[in-house]
Amino acid sequence: MSLKKTYSFQIQPQDVDFQFRVTMAAFANILLTTAGYNADDNGFGLRRLHEMNCAWVLSRLAIEMTRFPEQYEKISVETWVEEVGRANTTRNFCIRDEKGEIIANACSFWVFFDMETRRAKDLLTLEGIHDFANGEPGLIEKPIKLGSVDEGTDYDGFKVKYSDIDINGHVSSMRYIQWISDCFSLSCYRKCAISRFEINYVQEMLFDDFVEIVGCEPEKGDFRFEIRKDDKVACRARVVF
C-alpha cells in the first residue's frame, strides 16, 4: 500500500485573477480538496468523522510558490501524512506541472475537532490513523507559530456573512486567505508574486462576527497580518513577495 497519493486538477476560469494566474485562495482550496480526497481514500474522510460528530480543522498552513499555474493548466498534487501526534497531524504536498517540474510545495497541520465541544480531540482516539503516517518530511520549512502584530495599519473591517461559513459552521479556511490576499493592490500583484504564504488559525469566527484586519511590513516585501474579532486574534498570517 502506497502512503503517497497523487491527484490531478485543471485550473478553471473561476480560480484565476486578472492576470490569468491561480489565486492563492483557489490554490489553497485545491490543496485542501486533495487532503479531503486522500483522507477519504485512507478511511478517515469527513463523512466518517461527521458520523462521530467530528471534523478535520486546518490549524496551520505554509505554501511556497516557484510559479503560479495559469488558466486551464493541468497540475498534479502529491500528498502524504508525515506524522500523527496527539494534538495534530502533519500533511505535506508537492505540486508539479504537466512537465513534471515542481511549481510549489506546502505543509499543513490539522486537528481532530469535536463539533459539540468546539475543541480539539486527542488523535490517539482515532483508531488506525497512525498507520498512514510515513515519516517523510516535506520540501519546505514547516509552518511556525507566528508572532503578534502589535503596531499595524488597519486594512479592513466588515461582518462575517452567509457566504463565509462552511459546513463546520464557522468561517472557511479559504475565506481568511482571500481576505489577506485582498489587502494588496493590483499594481502590487503586477510587480511581484507571492513566494511564501503562511497562516495560523487561532480561534474560529462565526456568522455576524466583526472582522478587523491589521498588518505591518517589518522587512521589505515581508508582511504580517492579524485578523481579529472583539479584539481577540482569530488568525495570523505572513505574506512574502
| pLDDT tens for the chain, residues 1 to 241 | 579 999 999 999 999 999 999 999 999 999 999 999 999 999 888 888 888 889 899 999 999 999 999 999 999 999 999 999 998 999 999 999 999 999 999 999 999 988 889 888 898 888 889 899 999 999 999 999 999 998 889 999 999 999 999 988 999 999 999 999 999 999 999 999 999 999 999 999 999 999 999 999 999 999 999 999 988 999 999 999 9
Domain that residue 52 falls in: 4-132
**Last residue in a domain, options 102, 132, 162:** 132
Contact 152, 216 (CB under 8 A): yes
Residues 21 and 124 in one domain: yes
Please give the pLDDT value at position 151.
85
Please give the pLDDT value at position 66.
98
- Taking the C-alpha atoms of residue 161 and residue 183, their distance in angstroms, rounded to an integer, is 19
Enter the C-alpha cell of residue 162: 452567509
Q: Say how far residue 147 (Cα) sits from the centre of its chain.
A: 18
Residues 121 and 16 in one domain: yes
Q: Say how far residue 230 (Cα) sits from the centre of its chain.
A: 23
Residues 86 and 57 in one domain: yes
Please give the pLDDT value at position 1.
56
Residues 14 and 103 in one domain: yes
* CATH number of the CATH domain containing 229: 3.10.129.10
Enter the C-alpha cell of residue 145: 507559530
Residues 8 and 123 in one domain: yes
